[in-house]
Structure 1
Amino acid sequence: NETGKGYEFINKIVGGTIPKEYIGPVDKGIQEALLGGIIAGYEVIDVKVTLYDGSYHDVDSNEMAFKIAGSMAVKEGVRKAGPQLLEPMMKVEIETPEDFVGDVIGDISSRRGRVEGMMPLEGTGMTQIRSVVPLADMFGYATDIRSKTQGRGTFTMEFEQYEPVPTNIAETIIAKYKGTEAAV
């Protein structure tokens, strides 16, 4: 599904190949599987699932069987689709004395951040730095910015968007989730 569209379930069953009372359990199984994650235990977002066909048996079919079938089908489909692990990216605006701009930019870069702009704040001796930084690398930043700017730097941070986790980091996260360590 398109970014930001969330989960969408479309029932395209025709001719009663699956009785109506089993469509809801299929949907519920899919939603539970997506919530529990497929590759590293994190929720799968922005997915459109279309149910085209299926079968049932008068004796052996029940709601639980269709819920499990929905869960298994979406897990297989997501794996085949090549899912990406995403991470929250934060818009970080920093105000720092001009003397410390280089140190602050170096620190943002060391946190996998991107500097998107700088602007001197006229008559203040301060510079505003606009950047985007992964949330995972922002822990402890309040202390670090004070340390790098002799207590005179400040920052604000707000959610910007989700972006794919770099491959090497994603591999480490997935390996930890699976209970193994990635080879270094």
Structure 2
Amino acid sequence: QFAEIVASLEPYTEDGSTYLFEDNVRGGRIPKEYIPSVDAGIQLATTNGPLAGFQVLGLKVSLNDGKSHDVDSSEMAFKIAAQAWFREAMRMAKPVLLEPVMTVEVVTPENYMGDVVGDLNSRRGRVGQMEARGGNQVVSAQVPLSEMFGYATDLRSRTQGRATYTM
């Protein structure tokens, strides 16, 4: 089996996608029928990433060049070559493990809004929408899960037990 690929890897977060594959091969160095196998091999490799086996997110892969052989190349050879390339590229890229971020909704009386928002901010939360609902204020935020331990007790203390939250 023979397959060789030359590609580049970069962060990608546009339009909410977690993966983008670009075929930049010119001159038929890799026959068109093998390009989808390269893409499939890389996508498969992203599902079991180098950090604790977690999926790799936010990637743009540009396939730039490669080599094939009329007799010894196959779709499977290119899929395997793509997976090997991805493992090596990730080793050199020094990826980081993302932490889980939770969507939190707090319902609180208006006079406790400042305390609630301040507490969410101190927990590295990103406060989003605030709206009135039935005489109370509803605060929506994105907060790292690691910062939410003990939140129920803290919220009760700050609001004299009058606020509730869902995560």
TM-score by length of 1: 0.59
Listed as ranges, the gaps of 5+ residues in structure 2 are: 1-11
Listed as ranges, the matches of 1:107-118 within 5 Å are 112-114=123-125
Aligned CA distance change for structure 1 residues 152 and 66 (closer, same or farther; 3 Å): same
Query: Is the Cα–Cα contact under 8 Å of residues 104 and 140 in structure 2 kept in the other structure?
Result: yes
Question: 1:2 is matched with which residue: 8, 13, 21?
Answer: 13
Of 15, 40, 56, 2:27 maps to 15
Deviations along 1:51-91, whole A, 9 cap, x unmatched?
11111123322221110111111222233223222223234
- The aligned length equals 148
Distance 2:76 2:126 in 1: 51
- 2:5 corresponds in structure 1 to none
SS in 2 for 1:17: coil
**Does structure 2 conserve the Cα–Cα contact (< 8 Å) formed by 1:115 and 1:129?**
no
Q: What is the distance in 2 between the residues matched to 1:21 and 1:127?
A: 57
Contact kept? 1:113, 1:134, Cα under 8 Å: yes
Q: Cα offset for 1:25?
A: 0.9
| Counterpart position of 2:165 | 155
Q: Whose strand proportion is higher, 1 or 2?
A: 2
Q: 1:89-131 deviations in whole A, cap 9, x for unaligned?
A: 23434337979x97xx77985xx544869x9x9xx8x998776
User: What RMSD, in angstroms, separates the aligned Cα atoms of the two structures?
Assistant: 3.7
Partner of 1:63: 75
Cα distance between partner residues in 2 of 1:26 and 1:32:
10
Q: 1:140 to 1:62 in 2, by over 3 A?
A: farther
Code of the residue aligned with 1:78 in structure 2: it is: M
Map 1:97-176 to 2 at 5 A: 112-114=123-125, 132-138=142-148, 144=153, 148=157, 151-157=161-167
2:16 is equivalent to residue 36 of structure 1: no
- Of the three residues 61, 68, 72, the one matched with 1:49 is 61
Distance 1:115 1:67, change over 3 A: closer
**Aligned to 2:84, which of 59, 72, 86?**
72
Q: Report what 1:177 is aligned to.
A: none
Alpha-carbon contact 2:120-2:126 (below 8 Å) kept: no
Q: 1:30–1:128: structure 2 CA closer, same or farther, 3 Å change rule?
A: closer
CA offsets 1:8-59 (integer angstroms, 9 cap, x no match): 1111112221112211111100000112222221111121111111111233
Match of 1:90 in 2: 102
* 8 Å contact from structure 2 (residues 125, 141) kept in 1: yes
| Cα distance change of structure 1 residues 83 and 96 upon mapping to structure 2, 3 Å threshold | farther
TM-score (norm 2): 0.64
